[in-house]
Amino acid sequence: MRNSELFNHQLASKAESIGKLPEEWLSVIYEEKWFKLFVPRELGGLGLPLKQALKYEESLARLDGSLGWTITLCAGAAWFVGFMEESIRNEFFTRENLCLAGSGFVGGKADQIGERYLISGSWTYASGALHATHFTGNCEIFENGNAVLNEEGNPIIKAFILKKEEVQILDGWNYMGMIATGSHAFKTENLHVSKDRCFEIIPEKTSLPDPIYKFPFLQFAEATLAVNILGISFHLMDLIEESFWKRHEYRKYDKKHQRYFSELLKDNRIEVKKHKKQFYRQIEKAWVELEKEGQISDSRLKKISKKSRLLTSTCRRVNSELFPFSGLEGAKTQTELNRVWRDFNTVSQHALLIFPF
């Protein structure tokens, strides 16, 4: 990957200290269009197929957890371009420094009054909020003050795209890891927006021809999160191995202990790579189905969900088993190893991938 030497421990530490990605990284991100992985080329994006984008995200997460996660979540929010009005695509998505921060939380209410919506709400966990030019948030829909319900009597939920200057960012990201993602909350009050700012994520109704927008959102989200956890895990395993052999220089582990660690590390790496291969195989097969049939079978989607969760649970188990061999180096708060461990144990808590099935 170009410019990979720039994503080093020193700048990663700087990113953590300032709570966002540093300008040195952002300049590369904008140049390489990583926030626009899924934006069509005609709008200035990369327009990548899913597997290629996942490989990018895995590699970026291996360089630094906050780097990979911020790009993944912001690029994922920009994927919504496939469900927006043409007027919004042309107005917002052609910007070179476009960055969308989104929240899946239903934190707002949108009251349709004539040809506009009046929006108020507060949304959590918007990764990349401090870099965002736009925000997306889900709202319950009202019409002239009355809740709009579906046939089952449940509230209708739709998403909206908001400009940076229309929201207030709230300092709500106070966790031990993934600090540089700046995954803050945001809010707005009594904001009037035009109807074309509203969109629904329905693959069958995508307004763009690219296959990526027909990929169901659940499996899209599971896959993109799983490769971040995978990338961070590879980074962590490398650092644990390095720390163990540095300790050996002065502790002088006997041969049976050296052999035990080496075999454990080797077996665990093989296990993770096996599940990685199976995961990407399902992504490939799903993409072939999508291109040939225009949709992905339910059985294939279930396999993607299962492989995403199994890959994540394997990484969680492996990292837990290997971490004690890092020694106290893993507990020093200023070390790269500790930062990566904190990042992993924060990001792996994501509710979407907690269960292995």
pLDDT in the model for residue 207: 83
Q: How many residues does the chain have?
A: 357
Instruction: Give how many domains the chain has, as a whole number.
Output: 3
Q: Are residues 247 and 346 in the same domain?
A: yes
Q: What is the pLDDT of residue 2?
A: 60
pLDDT for residue 251 is more than 80: yes
Q: What is the mean pLDDT of the chain?
A: 96
Report the pLDDT value the prediction gives residue 226, as an integer from 0 to 100: 98
pLDDT in tens, 259-315: 999 999 999 999 999 999 999 999 999 999 999 999 999 999 999 999 999 999 999
Considering the domain architecture, whether residues 333 and 269 belong to the same structural domain is answered as yes
pLDDT given for residue 172 in this prediction? 80
Please state the pTM of the whole predicted model.
0.96
Question: Are residues 142 and 265 both part of a single domain?
Answer: no
- Note whether 127 and 57 are same-domain residues: no
Q: What is the domain extent for residue 155?
A: 98-202
d(CA 322, CA 178): 21
Residue 209 lies in a domain: no
Task: Determine the residue type at 142.
Answer: F
Residue 210 lies in a domain: no
Q: What are the structure tokens assigned to 347, written together?
A: 């990001």
Q: Which CATH number characterizes residue 34's domain?
A: 1.10.540.10
**Distance in angstroms (rounded) separating the CA atoms of residues 106 and 125:** 12
Which pLDDT value is given to residue 5?
84
pLDDT band at 4 (very low <50, low <70, confident <90, very high): confident
Question: Within a domain: residue 89?
Answer: no
Summarize pLDDT for 213-243 with one digit per residue, the tens. Answer: 999 999 999 999 999 999 999 999 999 999 9
CATH, residue 130: 2.40.110.10
Tell me: do 257 and 333 sit in the same domain.
Answer: yes
Report pLDDT digits (tens) over 88-118: 999 999 999 999 999 999 999 999 999 999 9
* Residue finishing a domain among 83, 108, 140: 83
Distance of CA 150 to the CA centre of its chain: 30
Q: Give pLDDT tens digits for 168-178.
A: 999 889 999 99
Does the pLDDT value for residue 208 go beyond 90? yes
Picking from 54, 83, 112, the residue at the C-terminal end of a domain is 83
Residue 3, pLDDT score: 67
What is each CA distance from 241 to 10, 133, 256, 262, in whole angstroms? 20, 40, 16, 9
- CA angle in degrees (0–180, nearest 5) for 127-74-10: 65
Nearest to 208 by CA among 38, 19, 34, 9: 38
List 159's β-bridge partners, or say none: 138, 199
State residue 297's pLDDT score: 98
The pLDDT tens digits for 61-91 are: 999 999 999 999 999 999 999 999 999 999 9
Structural domain contains residue 92: no
